[in-house]
Amino acid sequence: MIPVISHIFLQQYWWIIISLMGSVLVFLMFVQGGQSMLFTLPSDNSERTLIINSLGRKWEFTFTTLVTYGGTFFASFPLFYATSFGGAYWLWTVILFSFIIQAVSYEFRSKAGNIIGQKTFDIFLFTNGSLGPFLIGVAVGTFFTGVGFTLNEMNQVSWNNDWRGLEALGNIRNIALGLAVLFLVRLNGLLFLLNTIDNDSIRARAAGRIIMNSLFFLVFFLYFMFKLLVSDGYFYTNTGAIEIEEHKYLHNFIEMPFVMIIFLAGVLAVVYGIFKAIAGKSNNAIWFTGSGTVTAVMGLFLIAGFNNTAFYPSVADPEASLTIVNASSSLFTLKTMMFFSFTVPFIIAYIWYTWKALTSRKITIEEMQGEGHKY
């Protein structure tokens, strides 16, 4: 007998997929973290080229994951996609533009006939590395702080200001999460470079920056978490009505202990990776901070959407707030997509294989002076 797959099961299933992909994206932004240090970590242009080529071997993973994440969000929760991109389009435009100039930079930085110079493309990479993670963190922060939109009976979005998403920069909690993400990806970027570059000068300077970036990350992350756990949140009743609940996200952790466990396990893994790196055992620290990043961020996504929580609250009209129930695709669409999601393990296996192949040996300056491909 074929089991009946309910709509709510598929909505929860796809929110888990969305949460996993979002957390993997945050980890893969170690590429952006490394780019944000292009003008402070290397001592000369040859070392800068070495760093760019180490990161360049992985930048397509991040870019592809970002595009796939956006497409999956659109297909599974189209009302969120339409509301956020249709209303907060200036914020998303800046984010997407920063990733476009990243792709252009890796493609043309070392090409013959480059008329604007390598330094211009290096500035583009620095801009993407600094601005991209920060603004993505700010955008995710609005999942908890809310935004000002209304929806009519045809689900057409109206924004309550002309800033179109940039007003999120006026909320200190969003800023804190944005900075926490920025310093986390910088930390992961440093650990990745220590793991893949054979250059004593770069390794010495990278090791010296781990403590500073770790401290900044912990300060902003702990501030955001404290404010989150004492803040109110929106929840939806069985009739679909939206109401305010005090300490909603704290209650979500308590009422979903498995989510709390994976979140705390992620935080502890990041902290353990930091201590390993500080102790001079940085060769595999990236795997602790990386796995911790994935599980901790996934925990945040899960408390944002599960336990009858509105994952995109509207501060202008609470009844317009989006949930995994009212923002999802139809039963047929989600069911059809579910069968395609079964290919995810094979995709992960392919990524792992190519990752290992591309980092089988550490990159050196001598390699950059050869005739092979260079970014």
HEC-encoded secondary structure of 18-61? HHHHHHHHHHHCHHHHHHCCCCCCCCCHHHHHHHHHHHHCCHHH
- Residue 2 pLDDT > 60, yes or no? no
Q: Exposure of 352 by Cβ count < 10 A (0-12 exposed, 13-18 middle, 19+ buried)?
A: exposed
pLDDT in tens, 48-107: 999 999 999 889 889 989 988 999 999 999 999 899 988 999 999 999 999 999 999 998
- Cβ(166)–Cβ(91) below 8 Å: yes
pLDDT band at 1 (very low <50, low <70, confident <90, very high): very low
More confident residue, 150 or 359: 150
Contacts of 224 (CB under 8 A, 6+ apart): 141, 173, 176, 177, 180
Query: What is the number of H-type helices and E-type strands within the chain?
Result: 15, 4
Q: Cα–Cα–Cα angle for 50, 52, 56, nearest 5°?
A: 120
- Cβ(273)–Cβ(253) below 8 Å: no
pTM: 0.94
Backbone region of residue 231 per phi and psi (left: phi > 0; alpha: psi in -120 to 50; beta: other values): beta
pLDDT in tens, 185-222: 999 999 999 988 988 899 889 888 999 999 999 999 99
Nearest alpha-carbon partner for 191 in 353, 361, 30: 30
